[in-house]
Structure 1
């Protein structure tokens, strides 16, 4: 650091204060030299060297908060007492208690001046910026950065150290801001739980992903409230005392679990509630606690809802669901063609449904994301496009798949039929395909089933 040409700041170490003669000698020695006035790197005010000699020794070079207009005010001198030292550079070695006290004093002066200064003025804005940096520095002194491992495991959380410094996050443990520039923080790769490194040993919430792995099911009752008395007037997660009056802590209800939580466990996040979707076909987001929000996010794409068992009447009122069910049934009928077709396997046609793998396994299991996309119309559009691509391959592009078509044995007329055609019907016993009108008008049994029974009878007579 360049040697200052004026007396040391009153807030510096008393042992380094200069005496009056030495101050005068320093003043004479510094006349004509360029003054280094930026003791505080965030203070852009420059001191005019031409007017430096006009000051008395006790008012020489100072690190002012604002411009030179207010340098005679006592409030500015009080601010200088806290800001004259370099509080913003990287700390070297250990800090003594006096450094923290000086920062606290400067912070209080900043807060007082912000209230005194005119609103929206440049001086007030500059003081707010200084207050932010002073608080950051104080936090750094209280919690100096140490070498932390890149990976840590706590209560099934798999924490990895974050490298991002500019993204503003909130700590899920202490509910305060994570200042990435000066604080080490971690994120769980399973449930995305975020916290300071200093908060990791205080975590009491297990990883939500483990709950998803062991208990993949939704609460299907709409907001099953039990009341604060059943919770002993304590948070449903951390057991902190809560009440609806906000004393000692505000009680916030989670619309998914129906329980009440404190403000540290419930941040008023919103999510779509599965029970409201299934029973009411309602998609309005409701307020949920942090753990419920993470659980619902991880469960969003899991096909765990069997609608025909939970609420079969829903298909009578939601036409889109009927359309989706028919498309899914057709895709299941197309699947055998692709499994036995070399060209289809090479083109990997079934991978078009890799985001909804359950669509090629069954037609009655739905995920919450499926229902959301059905309501918005996105699922119907995408599934219709995939259905058209699959049908085009079987009926037009591939000769081997065309050869696996059917002729209607009842009327023995018309084009080649496929089980996924809209005007056909399929025998439930032998999977033979007929025209729908022919199949329902025919009073006899299926011709193919008759042949198969005759063949079995002959085989039993002539073993």
Structure 2
């Protein structure tokens, strides 16, 4: 019987109000009902199940209407248990029970005078206009019946809830945590144990246990703490600590608040890999490749910010989704690491690198004029600091062929000239 009720409930979620009303008009001819069921059918008719006696009239319902609905629902439950299992009459009665419950919910959750924007615990709740019934309330964990219920979504963390559940919310907006604390937990599942949590949910403080009595304890792989089934829906997410320390991208089960926090932090460049785990570059070749491309792009940036054509073409905006790539070469977001692992970032960044190099070396005469000639061999093409076969002097930024630079035992010619000029200026000052 439970399976039948669930099947009918799932069917109801895909119907419009007109469809529901149509379903509710299904009846079995009285003559075909066995004599032992006629008494039950008469009682059903008395409850107002054969016709829609609870359609909302003009004006407001009074308390007696709600009480009548509650009595009708209880009688309908009893009738379902008494009717033969899997019979058509039982199925129809289950559908009508759902209809009565929806009518009761409609009375308890009126839509009139609901504000379009509500602010609570740093959430900015916006009233939803969607009539979809496939959403779930994050507070009570039940379905949001969009056809008849008012519901809200936080524009910051996308927390969804019924209008009637808003005053029961205790979780502050996760986006505020992202703004105030943009740091990941970098220990892998730092479990502290249920006893340290006083055998209560880490968030709502509901009593929990591993045996499921009174409520099942579910561990969040990100925080390491235990949560109840209302705060932990077995959602999965990639955990930053496992990526940084193990280069592991398998999604793990996390609680609802951790899932939202990780989703909002996904594109924020807060991971300095060379400080957290510098050995990672020794074992992940793709990271070394990406680091070299990022270093080259930083060397190209001065050409673009002084080139009128590059500014007009907005070349640097090709990296607007990863703005940190034109600011430094050592900060990464979790999304960067995910894309590196999948190979997507290497392909896109290589393409951008090729476009930038083409502009500097081939398309723009002004950028070409800023190239270097190797002063050690004075041969070859014009050199640029981002070329793979070049080396750059750390003191004066002059560019040389890599082989010439490391084979030459003397100092950098440009540095030598600058030192000699400085000494001449000092001598002139002394003579004066």
TM-score (norm 1): 0.83
The answer on whether the counterparts of 1:81 and 1:106 sit within 8 Å (CA) in structure 2 is: no
The answer on whether the counterparts of 1:301 and 1:367 sit within 8 Å (CA) in structure 2 is: yes
Q: Larger % of helix: which?
A: 2
Match in the other structure for 1:79: 44
- In the alignment, structure 1 residue 138 sits paired with structure 2 residue 104: yes
The CA deviation at 1:392 is 0.5
The CA deviation at 1:269 is 0.5
- In the alignment, structure 1 residue 435 sits paired with structure 2 residue 397: no
Cα distance in 2 for partners of 1:325, 1:180 equals 48
Match in the other structure for 2:85: 116
Match in the other structure for 1:89: 55
**Higher-Rg member (1/2):** 1
Structure 2: gaps (5+ residues): 1-19
The CA deviation at 1:108 is 1.2
Match in the other structure for 1:101: 70
Match in the other structure for 1:213: 179
- In the alignment, structure 1 residue 336 sits paired with structure 2 residue 299: no
Cα distance in 2 for partners of 1:414, 1:91 equals 90
Match in the other structure for 1:423: 389
Aligned with residue 329 of structure 2, among 348, 363, 377: 363
- In the alignment, structure 1 residue 413 sits paired with structure 2 residue 413: no
Match in the other structure for 1:274: 240
Task: Indicate how the Cα distance of structure 1 residues 240 and 228 shifts in structure 2: closer, same or farther if over 3 A, else same.
Answer: same
The answer on whether the counterparts of 2:123 and 2:172 sit within 8 Å (CA) in structure 1 is: yes
Structure 1: gaps (5+ residues): 1-39, 46-63
User: After the TM superposition, which residues 58-457 of structure 1 pair with which residues of structure 2 at under 5 Å, given as runs?
Assistant: 65-67=27-29, 70-71=32-33, 73-74=37-38, 75-82=40-47, 83-87=49-53, 89-92=55-58, 93-95=60-62, 96=64, 97-105=66-74, 107-108=76-77, 111-112=80-81, 116-118=85-87, 126-457=92-423
DSSP 3-state at the match of 1:457: helix
Task: Indicate how the Cα distance of structure 1 residues 44 and 185 shifts in structure 2: closer, same or farther if over 3 A, else same.
Answer: closer
Cα distance in 1 for partners of 2:257, 2:53 equals 39
Supply the RMSD in Å over aligned alpha carbons: 2.0
The answer on whether the counterparts of 1:65 and 1:127 sit within 8 Å (CA) in structure 2 is: no
DSSP 3-state at the match of 1:354: helix
Task: Indicate how the Cα distance of structure 1 residues 114 and 294 shifts in structure 2: closer, same or farther if over 3 A, else same.
Answer: farther
Task: Indicate how the Cα distance of structure 1 residues 101 and 403 shifts in structure 2: closer, same or farther if over 3 A, else same.
Answer: same
Aligned length: 403
Cα distance in 2 for partners of 1:447, 1:76 equals 105
The CA deviation at 1:81 is 2.8
Task: Indicate how the Cα distance of structure 1 residues 338 and 106 shifts in structure 2: closer, same or farther if over 3 A, else same.
Answer: farther
TM-score (norm 2): 0.89
The CA deviation at 1:89 is 3.1
Q: Determine which structure has greater relative contact order: mean sequence separation of CA pairs < 8 Å that are 6+ residues apart, divided by chain length.
A: 2
